[in-house]
Amino acid sequence: MGYWAVVEKRDKEFYAHFPDIVNLEVRSKTVEEIKVLLKESLSEYLQTLNETDKPRPIAHFNPTIQTINPKKIPPNVFEFLYIETE
């Protein structure tokens, strides 16, 4: 199981967020570091949910289905990444 992240290129940095998780955003100068930061932040977020007995968010976003029409993809989207959870 996992969640899709949207990576955007803004100026000289990359920003990424999970559409299914509110207020979880990371940024970096490289995509490689974005991948690491996404994995770490998602892991910490899910661990906090487990510790407080809160349910995990349901993963609804899927770029293969929701972005069939390229005109609907915002111009600053760089790529979509699937971040797996443990």
Sketch out the chain's domains with CATH numbers: 2-84 (3.30.160.250)
Do 31 and 12 contact (CB within 8 A), yes or no? no
Residue 71 confidence (pLDDT) above 70: no
Name the band, by pLDDT with cuts 50, 70 and 90, for residue 78: confident
Tens-place pLDDT, residues 11-54? 899 999 999 999 999 999 999 999 999 999 999 999 999 999 99
* pLDDT for 4: 94
* Cα gap 27→10, rounded to integer Å: 10
* Cα gap 30→13, rounded to integer Å: 7
Residue 71, both tokens: 């005109």
The DSSP string of 41-64 is HHHHHHHHHHHTTPPPPP----HH
Do 22 and 60 contact (CB within 8 A), yes or no? no
pTM: 0.85
